Structure 1
């Protein structure tokens, strides 16, 4: 495969992060969803009785807290179904809280299954499939369309900007939205935005 094509596709995937920052309904971490990757791995770890696979989700400084919560959870799980459900929830919440703290993000509770936005679910699926091509094409088209819309709106208002102060302000608002969108993409590509 052409190296430029791969680089372009990866850049498009990175641009998806910009969309997550700019679109409020997408701006949440899917690691705190019941069907997200952290909790899915936590379920498997509990079933296998082995904490090691989930330790990658936390920083070394929080490893002992997760190991302790895991050990407590395993002990309580044997006390019946109700105790098992409660213990599992305790472990999920501990793991996600510690994971979020490592990202510098607040813990806001466990989200229900089914709330992961489509693009984020597709990003996870691309990893499962071993190919990012379909996702990169989708994101590239979406980012391109969003940029074109902002550009067209700013260009249209620019032509009328000197007709009145209000028209000028409308143009400036559209200009700022357009330029900030582009700046956000550039910042993500340069690695200036945190997770």
Structure 2
């Protein structure tokens, strides 16, 4: 906003949301000159629009702007470091460890419940729920790991030809 250049944020929104972001930028830019309070309102409206359009492009709901500095968990900083260093080793090692721990824990539950699955329908049902849960979890992880990158979806952030 300070530079007066909407192009700085356009890479973060899908092509089909570009006009909405440009229009909002053009609408709020003159409001920013009216003083500090109008500038704050204009900036918030603009950034809410950018984030909402961005989230829509990801197929995710807009849940409002979040304050800077919120804990994003351990994987985002690792992914950011991978982008800056060009090495995915740290993030891959972390994710593999989490996956291994989850699979071990979930399979442990299945094995523990298998011991008593023949005792009653209630016990069998608990085992089936854990067993199917393990299988579905494994399938969902594979699906997430093999999904197309966001740029390959219908909500592509593809660039327009200049």
| TM-score tier (shorter) | 0.7 to 0.9
Instruction: List, as ranges, runs of 4+ consecutive aligned residues in structure 1 with deviation greater than 6 Å.
Output: 192-195
Contact residue 187 and residue 193 of structure 1 kept, 8 A? no
Match status 1:70 vs 2:29:
no
C-alpha RMSD of matched pairs (Å): 2.2
Equivalent of residue 97 in structure 2, options 141, 157, 160: 141
The unaligned stretches of length 5 or more in structure 1 are 1-45
What SS is found at the alignment partner of 1:180?
A: helix
Distance 1:61 1:170 in 2: 47
Aligned residue pairs, count:
150
1:43-192 correspondence to structure 2 within 5 Å: 46-113=1-68, 114-191=70-147
Structure number with bigger Rg: 2
1:1-40 correspondence to structure 2 within 5 Å: none
Q: Which has the higher helix share?
A: 1
Normalised TM-score (structure 1): 0.68
- CA shift for structure 1 position 96: 1.0
Distance 2:15 2:64 in 1: 22
The unaligned stretches of length 5 or more in structure 2 are 154-162
